[in-house]
């Protein structure tokens, strides 16, 4: 037995329960009893519930940011001028996002956790993630910036988050949507199928025409960049 079977039992169980019900609704007693581990073990190994939540995130985000960094290295080596087509960037992100949970428990858990982290208003978790993993996202958005020079910075920011919303909402609520889809269309939907459908939608959204300028208001002269 490894020196801490207990630690991974806790993490495995916690990520499933967190994804199912959220952080506040999952108690340490839920986790430890389902993991068949002593209640005090969470505080012994992690220090607090908050720290456990962050540890659950790290198990996904550490390998993700590592893989994503090296995938971007490969891309940058391939395009010597530093301008990587948008489709390639999105494709790479999709591949990396799908690769990580394939080894772990589920894509749904990962997406649900990301969604919870964003919607969590207070944001200690959000700030932790930003501080810990912000650089790989910064690098990605910089590459997207070069791929879409015609987009104002603010517009690009919002469109990336619009698409993040699409992906997180769809993949984290996949069970519910599958339910509805199966009832309406008698169709079984796989994650690969969804990604196939998502691709042209995301590309079209990023390439949509710019919204009309606002003229009135105060003199909104935000020079982006």
Partner DNA sequence: TGTACATCAGTGAACGCGCGTTCACTGATGTAC
Residues 6+ apart with CB under 8 A from 100: 60, 63, 64, 67, 110
Site for DNA, residues 155 to 184, rule: CB under 7 A: none
Residues 6+ apart with CB under 8 A from 161: none
Q: Which two tokens stand for residue 93?
A: 């992100």
Q: 5, 25, 62, 74: which one contacts a second copy (CB under 8 A)?
A: 25
Residue from 20, 40, 19 nearest 29 by CA: 40
Of residues 1 and 204, the one with the C-beta less far from a second copy = 204
Q: Which two tokens stand for residue 139?
A: 């690098």
Residue from 67, 169, 193, 70 nearest 115 by CA: 169
Site for a second copy, residues 113 to 142, rule: CB under 8 A: 115, 118-123, 126, 130
Q: How far, in Å, are 29, 70, 100, 216 from residue 76 at the CA level? A: 47, 10, 21, 42
Do 201 and 162 form a contact (C-beta atoms < 8 A)? no
Q: Could you tell which of DNA, a second copy, none binds residue 6, using a CB distance below 5 to 8 A set by kind?
A: DNA
| Shortest CB 30 distance to DNA, Å | 6
Of residues 21 and 161, the one with the C-beta less far from DNA = 21
Q: 80, 209, 219, 221: which one contacts a second copy (CB under 8 A)?
A: 209
| Shortest CB 23 distance to DNA, Å | 8
C-alpha 112/C-alpha 63 separation (Å) is 17
| Shortest CB 187 distance to a second copy, Å | 5
Q: Is 214 in the site for a second copy (CB under 8 A)?
A: yes
| Shortest CB 38 distance to DNA, Å | 3
Of residues 42 and 71, the one with the C-beta less far from DNA = 42
| Shortest CB 22 distance to DNA, Å | 11
- Kindly provide the residue ranges of all beta strands, DSSP E only, lying in 77-215, ordered along the sequence: none
Q: Could you tell which of DNA, a second copy, none binds residue 5, using a CB distance below 5 to 8 A set by kind?
A: DNA
Q: Is 9 in the site for a second copy (CB under 8 A)?
A: no
């Amino acid at each position: 037995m490894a020196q801490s079977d207990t630690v991974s039992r806790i993490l495995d169980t916690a990520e499933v329960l967190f994804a199912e019900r959220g952080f506040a609704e999952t108690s340490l007693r839920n986790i430890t009893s389902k993991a068949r581990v002593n209640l005090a073990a969470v505080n012994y190994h992690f220090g607090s519930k908050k720290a456990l939540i962050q540890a659950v995130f790290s198990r996904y985000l550490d390998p993700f940011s590592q893989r994503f960094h090296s995938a971007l290295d490969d891309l940058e080596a391939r395009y010597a001028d530093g301008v990587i087509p948008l489709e390639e960037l999105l494709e790479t992100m999709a591949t990396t996002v799908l690769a990580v949970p394939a080894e772990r428990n589920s894509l749904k858990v990962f997406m649900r956790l990301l969604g919870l982290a964003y919607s969590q208003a207070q944001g200690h978790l959000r700030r932790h993630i930003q501080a810990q993993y912000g650089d790989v996202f910064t690098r990605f958005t910089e590459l997207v910036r070069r791929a879409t020079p015609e987009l104002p910075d603010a517009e690009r920011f919002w469109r990336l988050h619009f698409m993040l919303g699409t992906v997180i909402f769809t993949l984290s609520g996949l069970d519910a949507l599958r339910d509805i889809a199966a009832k309406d269309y008698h169709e079984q939907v796989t994650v690969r199928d969804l990604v196939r459908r998502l691709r042209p939608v995301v590309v079209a959204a990023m390439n949509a025409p710019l919204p009309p300028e606002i003229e009135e208001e105060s003199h909104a002269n935000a020079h982006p960049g």
